Structure formats: structure tokens, C-alpha cells
Amino acid sequence: MSKRFPMPMPFGWFCISYSDELAAGAVRNVRYFERDMVLFRTASGKPALTGPVCPHLGAHLGHGGTVQGESIRCPFHHWQFDRDGIITDIPYAQRIPPKVDGKPCLKTYPVCEKNGVIWAWYHPEELPPDFEVLELAEFSDPDWSERDRYEWRFGSCPQEIAENGVDVAHFKYIHQMDAVPLGETTYEGHIRRSRVRGPRTVVNEAGEPEVIEYGIDVVQNGAGQKWTRFSGLVDYLLQVLVTPVDAETVDVRFVYTHPRYPEGSFRHRAVRDGIANTNGQRGLEGDIPIWHNKFHLREPLLCDGDGPIMRFRRYFAQFYVGGPYGDERSIPSDLEVASN
Ligand code: FES
Ligand SMILES: [Fe+2]
């Protein structure tokens, strides 16, 4: 919890690295969720995430630790630990201390790898994952482009960023966009989906205005994975990755892919424009100065032109242990779906 946000950090799967930032045999220090962790990749390619402190005599595994096969080796006395935190070797001992023989003694955290991203499961009470990261087929489709990635760090929290999508009134004032229809929204447990379809006038390849059907499909899968599929003149997919660094700081990563439109073609230029807009004032960078300074009001003063902000908050409340404000075990029920 922080001065600006009354909620704690939400639990869920969060991006802590891109896959290609961690080669086999690499060891990296990462700091998210207000804690230091050590990320490594074994010789066979599996990612692992541990606490930094060697249980032997407390050396920091992220400063001089090395990967040996499927284990990480502490720099101090060369004890080795596997991905589950179990000792695999003490080079100078006759036997592993019996109380930890075959049992985890180095702190480890759940981790998985999908969509070119290494995801860590954060839970303040260390409960195991109760849902999965969802795979997006476009990221492994050879007909879709290489990933195009952008990254920002600023003072905010995951809920504030997610809530922006239902704050329909701000699109005009921050993003200089016409009213953005909310579309059909469904809530199913930890997943929220919204679907917008409508006509839009665009300038076509011949330089003429043309009315086309466009679509925006958004899926939020817990607090740390969201994606948007844009369709119309061009198609593109944006995976939004929001990770709390601490209670008042987030990393936001945008990862795009799109069909391989020929370089220099009209559609290629159009998709580049779409991406620039989604990053820029008409998208994320329009919001950052507001997010970076705003406060989360538990009881905002809303009017009839505002979007379904409180309904969204009831959905997001399920990602906080004990509810967002720490005074309720809050899981939204299906009965609430109809109300705002
Ligand atoms: S402190 Fe790590 S092996 Fe001794
Ligand atoms: Fe916005």
C-alpha cells in the first residue's frame, strides 16, 4: 500500500523479462513486487526464479552465482540448488544436511514462459497460481511480424492502468478521440472481455475516404496480462504487460505483432501509424502524466457520462487478498454482472 493507492499489490502472473533477455546459462537480478529475486535459465533452457539469499551463509546468488547444468551455484562455497530450491551438490561435504536432503531450502517462485515472455506468479500470501497465462497464437505464427516492443516505468499501479479502458469520458480530453463505444463486455471469473465493432471513415490507398468496419477486442486475464486485437484497415495485436515494481511504481511493456505487410506498402505504413498512435498521445503516453500523479479514490464522485468504473473495480477486487481496501474477502459473483 502507498500514500496514493489504498490497495496493496494485486496477485497474478506478471512479466518480469522477455524470453530473449535470458540466454541458457544466464543469471540476472530482477526487482519486482518490492523484492529482489534472481532469475536464471538452466542449460536445458528452463527459467527459474529464486530468492537472492543462499541458505548456507547468506551470499547473494545474483552476484557471482553461475548456472551449472540444471542448477545455480552459489559464488561463496559452491553449493548448488535446482529450480525447486533443492540442494544438488555441496562439493566439499560427505552428505547433504539430512533436514534439507531432497527438500527445498532456497526460496523459489512460480515462473512460466509464454508469448516470448517470462512470467512470475506474485501472491502476497504465497498461494500457488489459480489460473494460467494465456497463449496468443499470433506470436508463434510465421505470417505475423517479429515482436515490436516498447517499455515505460512510472509511478502507478496495475488497477489504475487497467481501469483506464472503462473510463470512457477521458478519451476525448486526453486522447482527442471521439467517444469510444464500450461494446459488449463479459466477466467470467478472472477474465474480462470486451468487443467493439463499428464503422469508421479512413483514407484508403487511393487517398479517398472510405467507410470500413473496425473492431477492438480486449481481454484482461488477471492483473498482469491483457491484450487488444485491432482490426479494420489493418490488423494488429498488442499485448499489454503491467508489472508492479513496488506499491507505487510500474513497468508497462507493449508488445505488438501484425501480419507481414510488405515493407513500404500502404498497409505497412498504416500499421506503423496505428502502433505510433497506440503508444503516443492517442494511447499510453497521453495517460502517463495523469497516472504518474493521480490518487486512487475509493469513492470517486461519478456522473452519468462516466463509464462502468465501479463494475470494473468489483472485477479487479478479486486480485487483492482480503479485497482492495483490506476489509473484505471480495470475489465478484455472477449476480453482480448486470449492475454497474
Ligand atoms: S553462502 Fe552460498 S554456498 Fe556458502
Ligand atoms: Fe487512456
Say which CATH number the domain at 291 has: 3.90.380.10
- pTM here? 0.93
What are the C-alpha distances in Å from 37 to residues 65, 171, 276? Answer: 13, 38, 34
Residues 151 and 265 in one domain: yes
Structural contact between residues 296 and 4, judged by C-beta atoms closer than 8 angstroms: yes
pLDDT value at residue 237: 98
Residues 117 and 141 in one domain: no
| Domain-located, residue 2 | no
- Mapping DSSP onto H, E and C, the string for 95-142 reads CCCHHHCCCECCCEECEEEECCEEEEEECCCCCCCCCCCCCCHHHHCC
Residues 277 and 185 in one domain: yes
| Domain-located, residue 40 | yes
> Going by DSSP bridges, is the β-strand pair 80-82/87-89 parallel, antiparallel, or unpaired?
antiparallel
**Substitution candidate for ligand 1 out of 53, 76, 81, 92 with most atoms within 8 A of CB:** 76
Residues 114 and 143 in one domain: no
| Domain-located, residue 156 | yes
In the reported structure, the alpha carbon of residue 27 is separated from the centroid of ligand 2 by a whole-number distance in angstroms of 36
Query: What backbone phi and psi angles, to 5 degrees, belong to 25?
Result: 90, -5
Find all residues with CB under 8 Å of 257, minimum gap 6, and list them: 138, 139, 144, 145, 146, 147, 148, 236, 237
Which ligand has the shortest distance to the CA of 167? 2
81 lines ligand 1 (CB under 6 A): no
Taking the C-alpha atoms of residue 177 and residue 277, their distance in angstroms, rounded to an integer, is 11
Residues 155 and 302 in one domain: yes
Taking the C-alpha atoms of residue 164 and residue 307, their distance in angstroms, rounded to an integer, is 10
| Domain-located, residue 3 | no
Nearest Cα residue to atom 1 of ligand 1: 57
- Could you tell me the sign of the dihedral formed by the alpha carbons of 121, 124, 130, 131, in that order? negative
Is 318 in a helix, a strand, or coil?
helix
Residues 179 and 81 in one domain: no
CA torsion, points 333, 334, 338, 340, in degrees to nearest 10? 30
Residue 78 alpha carbon, nearest atom of ligand 1: 3
DSSP 170-183: HHHHHH--PPPP--
CATH code of 87's domain: 2.102.10.10
60 lines ligand 1 (CB under 6 A): no
- pLDDT 10s per residue in the chain (340 long)? 668 999 999 999 999 999 999 999 999 999 999 999 999 999 999 999 999 999 999 999 999 999 999 999 999 999 999 999 999 999 999 999 999 999 999 999 999 999 999 999 999 999 999 999 999 999 999 999 999 999 999 999 999 999 999 999 998 999 988 766 778 999 999 999 999 998 888 888 898 999 999 999 999 999 999 999 999 999 999 999 999 999 999 999 999 999 999 999 999 999 999 999 999 998 999 999 999 999 999 999 999 999 999 999 999 999 999 889 876 544 444 434 333 3
Residues 153 and 266 in one domain: yes
**Substitution candidate for ligand 1 out of 74, 88, 89 with most atoms within 8 A of CB:** 74
Instruction: Tell me 253's DSSP state.
Output: E
Residue 57 alpha carbon, nearest atom of ligand 1: 1
Find all residues with CB under 8 Å of 123, minimum gap 6, and list them: 11, 129, 321
Structural contact between residues 152 and 46, judged by C-beta atoms closer than 8 angstroms: no
81: containing domain? 12-122
Nearest Cα residue to atom 3 of ligand 1: 77
Residues 49 and 146 in one domain: no
Q: Which of 155, 113, 324 lies closest to 251, judged by CA?
A: 155
Q: Which of 92, 41, 91, 94 lies closest to 66, judged by CA?
A: 41
Residues 314 and 182 in one domain: yes
Nearest Cα residue to atom 4 of ligand 1: 77
Taking the C-alpha atoms of residue 236 and residue 216, their distance in angstroms, rounded to an integer, is 10
Taking a 5 Å cut-off on Cβ, the residues next to ion ligand 2 are 164, 287
**Hey, which bits of the chain come out as E strands?**
12-18, 27-32, 35-41, 47-50, 66-68, 71-73, 80-82, 87-89, 108-109, 111-114, 117-122, 148-154, 184-188, 191-203, 209-221, 225-231, 236-246, 249-257
The last residue of a domain, from among 69, 96, 122: 122
Which ligand has the shortest distance to the CA of 89? 1
Residues 113 and 204 in one domain: no
Residues 103 and 159 in one domain: no
How many structural domains comprise the chain?
A: 2
Residues 203 and 256 in one domain: yes
